[in-house]
Amino acid sequence: MNTLVRPPRLAPGARVAVVAPSGPVPEERLQAGLDVLRGWDLDPVVAPHVLDRHGEFGYLAGTDAQRAADLQGAWCDPSVDAVLCARGGYGTQRFVDLLDWDAMRAAGPKVFVGFSDITVLHEAFATRLGLATLHGPMAAGVDFVKNTRAQEHLRATLFDPESVRTIASTGSALVPGRARGVTLGGCLCLLAAERGTPHARTSARGGLLCLEDVGEETYRLDRYLTQLLRAGFLDGVRGVLLGSWQECEPYERVRALLLDRLGGLRVPVVEQFGFGHGEGALTIPFGVSAVLDADAGTLTLDEPALV
């Protein structure tokens, strides 16, 4: 697995576009998130359909064509330096094939931030644009609006990425050891659902795989992990970082499953690393070379996430 192109860091006054690729966005949370971004001396602009709701399927923020147009329009706007997702939910898989990847590639590298359902776009940006992305809090998310640690870690990554080259967690080793690889991953159920699709990687070989999920029963997590194992996606993976399992079953039950399914890989695995749907989520760059120290609970990037 190769490292990907790192986009430029942000500077005061940078214009950032907020898009809603998945579910509908509560207006009050969006406004609160915009206030945070303005407090960072950024210039946030809201894509046209962010506050829309699909007429028939209320779990979508507008139609597939509208959500695709918002993302592509923001990415291809030369005045925009970064694209931040407003929230997750569901819906990215429905429009990812509508995007003009040639046009987006021609627009050049930019910062892209999101998580959860946005896992689909992290994979597509890697395979179609060769671009490193940030798995981090979203502009209208509760964690981004209310949690200082989530805000400050993302802010440091955007403006001063050298200061967060070592990402330290309170996690511990599920399987001890150290490993070097290229970061990738996201929401477990989306990584499993993307198997066989045209925009997803076929393998995590050579990678440090980040996994987390929300609101899933243990047997479903078992299904997703087993799917990745049977599909050969985990063959040759160098290490695994496990984030939050918010609103899943009691963690000891989830932990037993993670050890059962991942322990046989014989690679370092760190648990409770602090990214994903949990409170105070850390920002994890995808597409960069790094060293995982499962015993110390650290991820040390070879280079800053942004140039």
Active-site positions?
116, 212, 277
- Give phi and psi for 46, each to the nearest 5: -100, 130
C-beta separation of 161 from 251 below 8 A: no
262-267, long-range: CB within 8 Å, 24+ apart, which pairs?
A: 262/174, 262/175, 262/225, 262/234, 263/174, 263/175, 265/175, 265/234, 265/237, 265/240, 266/175, 267/175, 267/177, 267/179, 267/237, 267/238, 267/239, 267/240
Residue with tokens 């209320």: 58
CB burial of residue 304 (10 Å; 0-12, 13-18, 19+) = middle
C-beta separation of 146 from 172 below 8 A: no
- Give phi and psi for 210, each to the nearest 5: -100, 130
Name, in order, each residue with C-beta under 8 angstroms of 28's C-beta and a sequence gap of 6 or more.
none
CA distance 183 to 179: 11
C-beta separation of 109 from 307 below 8 A: no
Token pair of 144 as six digits: 């981004």
